[in-house]
Amino acid sequence: MGRWLVASSPSQAVSLRLYCFPYAGAGASVYRDWQGILAPKVHVVALQLPGRETRWGESPFRRMPALIDAMVQKLPTDSLPFAFFGHSMGALIAFELARRLTALGRPGPVIVFASGCRAPHLPQRRPKMSMLPPDEFREAVRRMAGSSGEALDDPELFELLEPVLRADFELCDTYDFVPGPPLGCPVSAFGALDDPIVSPDEVEAWSFLAAGGFKLRLFPGGHLFVNEQREAVLQAVAQDLAERC
């Protein structure tokens, strides 16, 4: 599907496409195993942003509007229904892309999964990550990653990852919510009980942006519970998608 979209070949039984948007610093590989669990009716397509994995040599985006401008050109325009799943930064991307599709008069997602992310209309509580000095930045990223961030303890690896991490956090730090109509599709919001940066109340506030219905699920774990509680998260995703396949 080109540089932007990573997916295996769909089965003949597929009836819905699930676009998955990564969190800061991550690439399409974080969703590598999802296809095997959600198949055969769901075709998992992961977004590969510039600056990581197979697009390592490309400059990452630092502003949300420019990213959405580029992405809206990359989505297939066939008749297959689709859903969005995004974690943390990925949830903001999914939300803004869904709004852009509606503004263009194009079909939008049948459901948006907003995971590990405060509702976009709420003010940001944490300091701007992209502006932190090197040592503070590394410690803040490590704290957010929790048990999923052991690789960040390697100084050489972190030095390689820092530019794209800072770019992704700059994209989030400069994000400006523009009031508008709520999403017409349902929103299924996922949060974690011990997330150090996003509270359950901030996740529940997605309900104000969901005209098509809202569901909240809370999982054990920290900010990257999407990895720590993968089986439970996928079970919840599969349950909600089954109603639309």
Q: SS3 string of the chain? A: CCCCEECCCCCCCCCEEEEEECCCCCCHHHHCCHHHHHCCCEEEEEECCCCCHHHCCCCCCCCHHHHHHHHCCCCCCCCCCEEEEEECHHHHHHHHHHHHHHHCCCCCCCCEEEECCCCCCCCCCCCCHHHCCHHHHHHHHHHHHHHHHHHHHCHHHHHHHHHHHHHHHHHHHCCCCCCCCCECCCEEEEEECCCCCCCHHHHHHHHHHECCCEEEEEECCCCCHHHHCHHHHHHHHHHHHHCCC
8 is catalytic: no
Of 8, 9, 88, 115, the active-site residue reads: 88
**Residue 130: HSE in the Cβ half-sphere, 13 Å Cα cutoff:** 17
Nearest to 14 by CA among 111, 84, 81: 81
User: Which residues have a catalytic role annotated?
Assistant: 88
